[in-house]
């Protein structure tokens, strides 16, 4: 599990068609002396039919498949392990071409089937309650490695269909904004998953929150908040020292929301750290005037964790204060805890 050897053979002399954006794919087709409609067919087979190789594209003649296979290929993440939790949550560990590893989590919830994907191998943000944060950053994922998690998971779970995507797995999406934006263009434009069903979660990199609407399709924004004072947030989320609450909320207030959309604020409840009635009241004040909803996530302790989980009564009291303050506040049940697939528990076998 801890081996770092490459799990997929790289083919440096060939072009990985998945590494190309749609315009680049069109140029590749043109440069190969093929008519433009071939690019449309490639997009269809890669992003909707989930072809594993050029040989799978049976709409092409054998000659054309052989010609293309001589100069191009399709990469796929290697499924290293698949764990299924009692509540139906599944965790996939994928190996990338250079041997790095990432995880994504499939979460069934009534009629929804949500895939939580990673944007980086590891993470540099160092949030103290998060196992991924302890890994440090291994590297940014390329756009195709982000989008490929959706393709690979869709193949694995067929005929079930993924309905929603959240970028809440390993990594800080806005620290890899260019690749994330291109991956979102592919997920919403080429795989045809509505932006309304896609949510990007950030720890709060303020300049990138401002940039996001200019660079990416209009997906939902979630902010991992987890504190109501700078002192507490500084201590649990180092990003707050650079972008304190005042700057973060200013960016949220100015965020150009689509009609009837809200910003989701995630709040991991840490016993005796951020779970008091006073915190709840401050949260009501902070969110005034922002179309918002709050997801309360009682902390999932793991071996060696610095924090505890508040008892259920305390969690309910916190929620009540928010509800009385006219906020929408849901308590998120932790899913997949026994397979370490819950929030903040992804570490891809690195430890």
Q: Which of 77, 133, 298, 336 binds ligand SF4 (CB under 6 A)?
A: 133
208 is a contact residue toward ligand SF4 (CB under 6 A) = no
Percent of residues in the chain assigned helix, strand, coil, to nearest 5:
40, 20, 40
Cβ-proximal residues to 142 (8 Å cutoff; 6+ apart), any chain? 19, 179
**Residue 133 or 298: which CB sits closer to ligand SF4?**
133
Complex with ligand SF4: residue 143 or 203, whichever CB lies closer:
203
Of residues 105 through 124, those in contact with ligand SF4 by CB under 6 A are 123
- 130 counts as binding ligand SF4 under rule CB under 6 A: yes
204 binds ligand SF4 (CB under 6 A): no
What are 216-220's contacts with CB under 8 Å, separation 24+? Answer: 216/177, 216/180, 216/181, 216/184, 216/185, 217/184, 217/185, 217/188, 217/189, 218/258, 219/184, 219/188, 219/195, 220/195, 220/196, 220/261, 220/264
Residues 6+ apart with CB under 8 A from 33: none
Q: How far is the CB of 126 from ligand SF4 (least distance, A)?
A: 6
Exactly one of 294, 299, 344, 345 binds ligand SF4 (CB under 6 A); that residue is 344
Is the separation of the CB atoms in 57 and 51 below 8 Å?
Answer: yes
Q: Tell me which stretch binds ligand SF4 (CB under 6 A): 125-133, 208-216, 315-323, 325-333.
A: 125-133
Span from 165-173, 182-190, 228-236, 247-255 in contact with ligand SF4 (CB under 6 A): 165-173
Cis before 321? omega within 30: no
Binders of ligand SF4 among residues 249 to 278 (CB under 6 A) are none
Q: State which of residues 18, 39, 102, 171 lies at the interface with ligand SF4 (CB under 6 A).
A: 171
> What residues are labeled active site?
103, 343
Q: How far apart are the first and last CA of the chain?
A: 10
Write out the residues near ligand SF4 by the rule CB under 6 A: 123, 125-127, 130, 132-133, 170-172, 203, 224, 344
């Amino acid at each position: 599990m801890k081996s770092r050897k490459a799990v997929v053979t790289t083919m440096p002399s060939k072009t990985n068609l998945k590494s190309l954006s749609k315009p680049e794919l069109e140029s590749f087709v043109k440069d190969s002396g093929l008519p433009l409609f071939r690019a449309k067919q490639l997009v269809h087979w890669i992003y909707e039919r989930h072809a594993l190789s050029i040989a799978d594209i049976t709409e092409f003649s054998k000659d054309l498949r052989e010609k293309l296979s001589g100069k191009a290929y399709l990469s796929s993440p290697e499924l290293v392990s698949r764990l299924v939790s009692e509540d139906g949550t599944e965790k996939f560990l994928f190996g990338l071409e250079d041997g790095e590893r990432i995880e994504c989590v499939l979460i069934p919830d009534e009629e929804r089937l949500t895939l939580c994907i990673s944007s980086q191998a590891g993470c540099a943000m160092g949030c103290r309650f998060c196992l991924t944060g302890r890994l440090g950053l291994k590297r940014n994922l390329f756009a195709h490695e982000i989008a490929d998690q959706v393709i690979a998971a869709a193949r694995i779970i067929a005929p079930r269909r993924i309905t929603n995507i959240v970028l809440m797995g390993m990594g800080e999406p806005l620290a890899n904004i260019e690749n994330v934006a291109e991956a979102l263009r592919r997920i919403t434009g080429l795989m045809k998953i509505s932006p309304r069903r896609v949510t990007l979660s950030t720890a709060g990199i303020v300049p990138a929150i401002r940039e996001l609407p200019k660079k990416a399709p209009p997906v939902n924004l979630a902010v991992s908040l987890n504190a109501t004072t700078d002192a507490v947030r500084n201590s649990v989320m180092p990003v707050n020292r650079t972008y304190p609450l005042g700057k973060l909320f200013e960016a949220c207030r100015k965020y150009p929301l689509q009609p009837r959309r809200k910003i989701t604020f995630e709040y991991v409840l840490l016993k005796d750290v951020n779970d008091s009635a006073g915190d709840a009241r401050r949260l009501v004040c902070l969110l005034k005037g922002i179309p918002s909803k709050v997801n309360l996530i009682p902390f999932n302790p793991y071996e060696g964790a610095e924090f505890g989980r508040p008892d259920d009564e305390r969690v309910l009291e916190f929620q009540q204060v928010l509800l009385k303050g006219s906020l929408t506040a849901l308590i998120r049940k932790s899913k997949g805890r026994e397979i370490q697939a819950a929030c903040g528990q992804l570490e891809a076998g690195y430890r």
